[in-house]
């Protein structure tokens, strides 16, 4: 055998060996979550490990992003190192999709499969122009449950919890006057959201007209805002509700016996359990009061696949795995989130518990309600500018700088002049 | 070794610029190169590119679709001038400059005090510096407790009967007090930093000057104005300059304490820049850069004023 043949054989052998190694080396998928570490490290890591076992050709590199999530996302796209699966909320998904950052996931997973896995509304929340841009992940309901401090309710002379928002608004004065504690903390202007629009939706008042223009300035809208303005001016709503997220204010004040009720997701209970275990044990959990339309509002996270992802097929597998019913139920066992998978409604985890632990009660009350996850309105393309304008106007009404009607008129004028669809 | 034409003893100095050999020049630039390269990459290029972006349309949609910035001339500046929020934010930033003389006078006065060689003075020097190294998040929680309706400040005012319970309000929730409350936090955070700079300046003043003045019977007030202040002019210029620029660029305190509210009374120019550049996927780098350029122009103008006011008349200083 000549040297030439030997060299060729050697080259061939090496190529085969390298080729096999390349074929066997797993595809690395970069996965970004949002504010889940360190509290849920165990859950995320074990789910990743299950995924890798089920998909030996794929390895997952996980990062948890916090404040800088969106900026990091944009920078990574710029640098050519985009992540493959990213956890975004409904508003950010809409903006990212409109600006061309996202791949529509119905091109990766058949629409029929998406429709059979998820409830219709949570899927619709991530649908723009007929295309689905995220696999719906864990959700929450804004009304969710009502939890209350029975001692404060008794002191206020109230025998039962409010069953509607009208009753709740009516109780605010009684509770504060008789106990010194606030009745609850409404989400008047949660930072970077349009939380007050949720109250309109709850009462069956439209946000947009048939042509898609902002239309939340009728006399009925103004009357509803005025009710909150009157309570705020009377000192029946904590001042901090104009500056901070209502959930934060409520979970700070409730453990100090300064708020009688919290309307919201059961996740508030986790904080109360940490800060005041005695009050936590006494806390009663019941169904949340609803607005006149008797609907819930809520939101969910989604898992998106960036256009710039180099491994969209593998990314889709990972996203589908994390958002599957089994994974979402496992997550709901760790923290009382609301799964967005339709199979969750039949899960024994959400069978009504009687008595016992408040978190278990709350979980059973809301866990199977994923079908109601609905923000109540579609986020406009330039939501940051428009939400700021809405919140500035709500604040002006609360602080007496504008009438409720003028505040809403000004907002609607601004929205219709500047809204990007 | 750098060789240049130096005046020979006994001969008058040579007029004109000294002449350097090519080797010396190359060697000098060689030594400068590492720093210049770093500055070019991390300062000059971003500065130039950011300035260019101010004259372009470059935001979420163009970026997401991989399109380059589109030249739009002065459009962004016209948009800014027509935006009441930007004008209000710029006005707030200029109003924030009120802190500069207060901060400088207070830190210079305290630097003079802690410059005395009294027992335990090291403790005070360190204590005043602690806020400088305190994380802003921690400071925010602490000041939130102070300014809260049920907070320390209202408690103290109530204890001396300056306000009654039903007159109390959250200092950060009131449009008339929030601005000053945030400014106090800036004062608290910056005070120690400038004090240390002044302290360093004070320790550079020759002791003989003070001693001579004491022998001449000068009062401490006279010594302060006739020796300390003139000798400290370069340090005063530096501190005033830094403090002016910092006041125009104030952002962190606002973000963590008020987010610009209530009623945009604490919304500063940098907050505007920040919100336009980093508002999720709908960012607008063009408009943010233009706003940044306006802030930079104001900062340059005020820096010139500082130089004019505090320039060392001897010509040797900064």
Q: Residues 6 or more apart from A151 whose CB is under 8 A from it? A: A257, A282
In the prediction, which pLDDT does A8 show?
A: 57
Q: Which of A41-45, A55-59, B65-69 has the lowest mean pLDDT?
A: B65-69
Q: Which of A196-205, B53-62, B117-126 has the lowest mean pLDDT?
A: B117-126
Q: Confirm if A145 and A362 have CB atoms less than 8 A apart.
A: yes
Q: Which of A19-23, A36-40, A163-167 has the lowest mean pLDDT?
A: A19-23
Q: Which pair of structure tokens corresponds to residue B26?
A: 């190359």
Q: Which helix (H) or strand (E) holds A310?
A: none
**Phi, psi torsion values for A333, nearest 5 degrees:** -75, -25
- Report the gap between the CA of B187 and the closest CA in chain A (Å): 22
**Mean pLDDT of all residues belonging to chain A:** 90
Question: Does A101 contact chain B (CB < 8 Å)?
Answer: yes
Question: Which domains are assigned to chain A?
Answer: 27-139+299-361 (3.40.190.10), 145-297+375-418 (3.40.190.10)
* Nearest of B121, B99, B98 to residue B111 by alpha carbon: B121
Q: Which pair of structure tokens corresponds to residue B155?
A: 């408690």
**Phi, psi torsion values for A146, nearest 5 degrees:** -110, 125
In the prediction, which pLDDT does B312 show?
A: 59
Coil, strand, or helix at residue A293?
Answer: coil
Q: In the predicted model, is pLDDT for residue B207 greater than 70?
A: yes
What is A185-254 written as a DSSP string? Answer: ---SS-TTS-HHHHHHHHTT--SB-TTS-B---SHHHHHHHHHHHHHHHTT-S-GGGGTS-HHHHHHHHG
Write the residue in B261, B264, B279 that is nearest to A242 by C-beta.
B261
Write the residue in A74, A98, A395 that is nearest to B262 by C-beta.
A395
In the prediction, which pLDDT does B5 show?
A: 46
Alpha carbon distance B276, B144 (integer Å): 26
Give the count of alpha carbons within 13 A of B94, CB side only: 13
**Mean pLDDT of all residues belonging to chain B:** 88
Nearest CA in chain A to B258: A243
Contact B264 A392 (CB under 8 A): yes
Write the residue in A71, A191, A242 that is nearest to B262 by C-beta.
A242
Rounded (5°) CA angle A365-A184-A148: 45
Contact B282 A242 (CB under 8 A): no
Neighbouring-strand partners of residue A62: A31
Question: Does A385 contact chain B (CB < 8 Å)?
Answer: yes
Contacts of A240 in chain B (CB under 8 A): 148-149, 170, 173
Q: Confirm if A290 and A165 have CB atoms less than 8 A apart.
A: yes
In the prediction, which pLDDT does A421 show?
A: 65
Q: Residues 6 or more apart from B127 whose CB is under 8 A from it? A: none
Question: Which domains are assigned to chain B?
Answer: 57-310 (1.10.3720.10)
Question: Does A234 contact chain B (CB < 8 Å)?
Answer: no
Among B46, B63, B64, pick the best mutation site for testing chain A contact (most A Cβ within 10 A): B64
In the prediction, which pLDDT does A152 show?
A: 97
Q: Residues 6 or more apart from A419 whose CB is under 8 A from it? A: A213, A214, A380, A381, A382, A386
pTM for the model stands at 0.84
Q: What is the pLDDT of residues A135-151, one digit of tens each?
A: 999 998 888 889 999 99
Percent of chain B clearing pLDDT 70 (strictly above): 92
In the prediction, which pLDDT does A231 show?
A: 97
ipTM beyond cut 0.85: no
Among B267, B282, B287, pick the best mutation site for testing chain A contact (most A Cβ within 10 A): B282
């Amino acid at each position: 055998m000549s040297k030439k043949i030997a060299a060729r054989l050697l080259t061939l052998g090496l190529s085969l060996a390298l080729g096999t190694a390349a074929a066997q080396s797993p595809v690395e998928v970069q996965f970004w979550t949002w504010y889940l570490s360190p509290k849920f490290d165990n859950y995320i890591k074990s789910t990743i490990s299950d995924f890798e076992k089920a998909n030996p050709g794929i390895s997952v590199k996980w990062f948890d992003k916090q404040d800088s999530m969106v900026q990091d996302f944009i920078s990574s796209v710029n640098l050519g190192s985009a992540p493959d699966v990213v956890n975004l909320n409904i508003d950010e998904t809409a903006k990212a999709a409109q600006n061309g950052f996202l791949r529509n996931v119905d091109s990766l997973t058949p629409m029929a499969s998406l429709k059979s896995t998820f409830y219709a509304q949570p899927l619709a929340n991530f649908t723009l122009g007929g295309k689905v841009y995220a696999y719906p992940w864990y959700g929450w309901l804004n009304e969710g449950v009502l939890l209350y401090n029975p001692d404060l309710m008794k002191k206020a002379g109230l025998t039962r919890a409010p069953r509607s928002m009208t009753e709740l608004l009516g109780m605010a004065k009684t509770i504060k006057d008789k106990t010194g504690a606030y009745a609850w903390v409404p989400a008047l202007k949660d930072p970077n959201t349009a939380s007050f629009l949720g109250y309109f939706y709850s009462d069956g008042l439209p946000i947009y007209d048939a042509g898609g223009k902002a239309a939340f300035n009728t006399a009925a809208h103004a009357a509803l805002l005025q009710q909150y303005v009157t309570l705020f001016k009377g000192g029946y709503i904590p001042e901090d509700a104009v500056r901070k997220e209502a959930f934060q204010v409520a979970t700070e004040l409730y453990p100090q016996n300064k708020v009688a009720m919290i309307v919201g997701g059961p996740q508030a209970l986790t904080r109360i359990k940490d800060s005041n275990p005695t009050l936590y044990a006494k806390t009663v959990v019941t169904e949340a009061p609803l607005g006149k339309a008797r609907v819930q509002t809520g939101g969910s996270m989604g898992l998106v696949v960036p256009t710039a992802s180099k491994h969209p097929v593998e990314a889709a597998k990972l996203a589908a795995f994390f958002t599957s019913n089994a994974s979402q139920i496992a997550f709901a066992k760790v923290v009382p989130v609301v799964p967005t998978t339709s199979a969750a409604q039949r899960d024994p985890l959400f069978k009504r518990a009687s008595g016992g632990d408040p978190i278990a009660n709350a979980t059973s009350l809301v866990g199977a309600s994923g079908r109601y996850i609905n923000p109540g309105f579609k986020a406009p393309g330039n939501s940051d500018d428009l939400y700021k304008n809405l919140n500035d106007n709500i604040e002006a009404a609360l602080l007496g700088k504008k009438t409720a009607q003028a505040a809403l008129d000004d907002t609607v004028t601004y929205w219709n002049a500047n809204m990007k669809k | 070794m750098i060789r240049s034409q130096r005046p020979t003893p006994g001969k008058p100095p040579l007029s004109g610029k000294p002449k350097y050999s090519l080797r010396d020049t190359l060697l000098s630039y060689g030594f400068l190169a590492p720093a210049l390269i770093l500055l070019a990459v991390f300062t000059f290029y971003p500065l130039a590119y950011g300035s260019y972006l101010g004259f372009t349309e470059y935001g979420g949609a163009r970026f997401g679709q991989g399109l380059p910035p589109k030249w739009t001339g002065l459009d962004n500046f016209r948009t800014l001038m027509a935006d009441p929020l930007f004008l209000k934010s710029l006005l707030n930033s200029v109003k924030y400059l009120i802190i500069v003389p207060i901060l400088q006078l207070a830190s210079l006065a305290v630097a003079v005090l802690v410059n005395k060689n009294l027992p335990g003075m090291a403790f005070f020097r360190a204590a005043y510096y602690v806020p400088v190294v305190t994380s802003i998040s921690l400071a925010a929680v602490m000041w939130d407790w102070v300014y809260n309706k049920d907070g320390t400040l209202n408690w103290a005012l109530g204890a001396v009967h300056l306000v009654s319970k039903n007159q109390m309000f959250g200092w950060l929730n009131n449009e008339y007090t929030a601005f000053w409350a945030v400014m106090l936090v800036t004062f608290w955070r910056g005070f120690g930093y400038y004090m240390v700079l002044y302290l360093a300046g004070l320790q550079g003043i020759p002791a003989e000057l003070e001693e001579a003045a004491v022998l001449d019977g000068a009062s401490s007030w006279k010594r302060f104005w006739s020796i300390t202040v003139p000798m400290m002019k370069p340090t005063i210029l530096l501190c005033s300059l830094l403090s002016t620029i910092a006041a125009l660029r104030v952002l962190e305190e606002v973000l963590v304490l008020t987010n610009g509210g209530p009623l945009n009374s604490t919304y500063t120019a940098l907050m505007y820049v920040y919100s336009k550049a980093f508002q999720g996927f709908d960012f607008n780098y063009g408009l943010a850069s233009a706003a940044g350029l306006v802030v930079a122009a104001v900062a340059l103008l005020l820096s010139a004023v500082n130089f004019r006011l505090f320039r060392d008349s001897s010509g040797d200083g900064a």
